[in-house]
């Protein structure tokens, strides 16, 4: 029997999208039929069925409504009160950590005038957003890096509503750890009437004996293990985050794991919580979030109704390590009751089951491993190749055709964790170690455990040169990155 969550290897990420309206199903059907296979190729019948099932999963094109939301973002060194109010020397967007929360609605165009006042070159990558390849923020692959003192304008209309985030794609293991990250929320064109829409950004900090960010990055210890794990865990930059709600309130709580390497498993079992979106995309139906592993880069959205007062604050723990649970934040229910909001869950996306996906021949198997060598003494590899930095020219490891159905496999030959993230596309998990998995959502990141194999399926819809990498940032910096080329026709 297929499984959904398997403790302790809870299945992370992904999600679907609301069905198309007007002519979108016809447009998608034509595109997928045209790109499904060359006339002389004989695709297995399971492929044709998978493509039909995919029709209407999410929009092929952005649908701008003419409204432009403009923001200015500046990256620069500063000091902010973090971790119990201690003045921490950081690098920040607009002088705050987490950085500014950008909110737009589906159909609106985002325009960001970005200025780099760091001592290093940098970019902004819009994590999880399906956008034009030139706006993806990958240095040399999609744009020149933004040099100190320079300005770059990012402008795009997201194709999907959801919870996304932004961070550098240059020396990410250092720049993200120093505090460079923010949240992009693309609301539905008509947002569900929650009484509140709250955000928790989870991070950890490795601080030295003076209480400052330890300035040694990409150490042998971090590279040989699961990246840089901090000694202080924060939510929204605080160690004492409290969410205060009234009885009867129904809220949407969005979570982002912005840590370099730490995986968290938030425990909401004491609440009436439902998982409604993963990696920005709605589920086919709401499910219990218990046992959900939130890997670096992952986002989840919860639908929570608070039906009664609580005599004491309810602590929300991270239980990824059963031996050492970490307190994330507290929830306090107090005050005069309100009438609960009654509306259907927004988690009703069209997400294909692809039950025959494992019968489709594997298109490529990626082998994940490490070896000695490279600038850090350890290289992390994909198919025995280490990505030698963004400044070098790299040929794509794999070329995919737009509109075709593919089954890919990741085989982790190492004992370490690897959350594998794909730019520019969503995918569905099919199996872990050959055991079918029934997930009612897409994802942009899959956590691959040590010595584990993972099968995924996807239909690339956006042409371009897209990164694929481990989102343990130290592993990526040491070579576990590559390029996937998506071509038309």
Domain boundaries, the chain: 196-333, 351-487
CA distances from 417 to 76, 127, 295, 307, 413 (A): 32, 20, 9, 38, 11
* pLDDT score of 13: 32
Which residues of the chain are modeled with pLDDT < 50?
1-3, 5-40
Which tokens belong to 166? 């932004």
pLDDT digits (tens, 9 = 90+) for 215-224: 999 999 999 9
Dist. CA 316–CA 299, nearest whole Å: 17
Question: How far does CA 47 lie from the centroid of its chain?
Answer: 27
Please say whether the beta carbons of 281 and 58 come within 8 A.
yes
For 21, residues 6+ apart whose C-beta sits below 8 A from its C-beta are none
For the entire predicted model, the pTM comes to: 0.92
Q: 3-class DSSP state for residue 94?
A: coil
Dist. CA 46–CA 52, nearest whole Å: 10
- The alpha-carbon radius of gyration of the chain (Å, integer) is 22
* pLDDT score of 162: 98
* pLDDT score of 17: 36
* pLDDT score of 460: 98
Residue 351 has phi, psi (to 5 degrees) of -120, 115
* pLDDT score of 41: 61
Tokens 């990410």 -> residue: 172
Which tokens belong to 458? 């996807």
The number of CA neighbours under 13 Å toward the Cβ of 228 is 29
CATH number, span 351-487: 2.60.40.420
Q: Do domains 196-333 and 351-487 have the same CATH topology?
A: yes
Dist. CA 57–CA 109, nearest whole Å: 22
State the first-to-last Cα distance of the chain, in angstroms, to the nearest integer: 37
Residue 28 has phi, psi (to 5 degrees) of -65, -45
101 forms beta bridges with: 183
CA distances from 152 to 74, 114, 138, 146, 149 (A): 11, 5, 13, 7, 10
- Assign domain 196-333 to a CATH class: mainly beta
Which tokens belong to 234? 């924060």
Q: 3-class DSSP state for residue 135?
A: helix
* pLDDT score of 394: 84
């Amino acid at each position: 029997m297929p499984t959904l969550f398997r403790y302790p290897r809870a299945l992370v990420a992904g999600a679907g999208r609301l069905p198309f309206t007007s002519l979108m199903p016809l447009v998608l059907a034509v595109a997928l039929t045209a790109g499904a296979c060359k006339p002389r190729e004989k695709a297995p019948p399971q492929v044709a069925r998978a493509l039909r099932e995919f029709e209407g999963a999410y929009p092929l094109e952005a649908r701008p409504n003419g409204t432009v939301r403009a923001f200015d973002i500046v990256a620069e060194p500063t000091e902010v009160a973090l971790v119990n109010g201690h003045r921490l020397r950081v690098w920040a967007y607009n002088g705050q950590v987490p950085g500014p929360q950008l909110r737009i609605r589906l159909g609106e165009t985002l325009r960001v005038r970005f200025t780099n006042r760091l001592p290093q070159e940098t970019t902004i990558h819009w994590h999880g957003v399906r956008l034009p390849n030139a706006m993806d923020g990958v240095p040399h692959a999609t744009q020149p890096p933004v040099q100190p003192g320079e300005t770059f304008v990012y402008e795009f209309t997201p194709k999907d509503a959801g919870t996304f985030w932004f961070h550098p794609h240059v020396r990410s293991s250092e720049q993200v750890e120093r505090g460079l990250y923010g949240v992009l929320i693309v609301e539905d064109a008509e947002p569900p009437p929650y009484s509140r829409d709250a955000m928790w950004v989870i991070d950890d900090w490795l601080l030295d004996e003076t209480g400052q960010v330890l300035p040694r990055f990409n150490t042998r210890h971090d590279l040989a293990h699961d990246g840089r794990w901090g000694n202080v865990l924060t939510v929204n930059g605080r160690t004492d985050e409290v969410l205060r709600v009234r009885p009867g309130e129904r809220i949407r709580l969005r979570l982002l794991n912005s840590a370099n390497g730490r995986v968290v498993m938030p425990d909401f079992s004491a609440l009436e919580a439902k998982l409604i979106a993963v990696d920005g995309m709605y589920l086919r139906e709401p499910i219990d979030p218990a046992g959900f592993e939130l890997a670096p880069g992952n986002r989840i959205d919860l639908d929570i109704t608070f039906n009664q007062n609580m005599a004491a604050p309810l602590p929300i723990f991270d239980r990824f390590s059963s031996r050492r649970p970490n307190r994330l934040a507290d929830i306090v229910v107090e005050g005069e009751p309100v009438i609960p909001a009654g509306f259907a869950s927004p988690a009703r996306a069209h997400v294909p089951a692809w039950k025959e996906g494992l019968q489709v021949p594997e298109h490529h198997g990626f082998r994940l491993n490490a070896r000695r060598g490279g600038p850090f003494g350890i290289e992390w590899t994909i198919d025995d190749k280490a990505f030698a930095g963004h400044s070098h020219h790299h040929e794509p490891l794999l070329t995919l055709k737009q509109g075709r159905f593919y089954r890919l496999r990741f085989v982790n030959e190492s004992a370490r964790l690897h959350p594998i993230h794909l730019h520019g596309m969503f995918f569905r998990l099919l199996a872990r170690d050959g055991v079918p998995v029934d997930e009612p959502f897409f994802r942009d990141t899959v956590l691959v455990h040590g010595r584990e194999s993972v099968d995924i399926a996807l239909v690339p819809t956006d042409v371009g040169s897209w990164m694929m990498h481990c989102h343990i940032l130290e592993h990526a910096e040491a070579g576990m990155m590559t390029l996937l080329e998506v071509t038309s026709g």
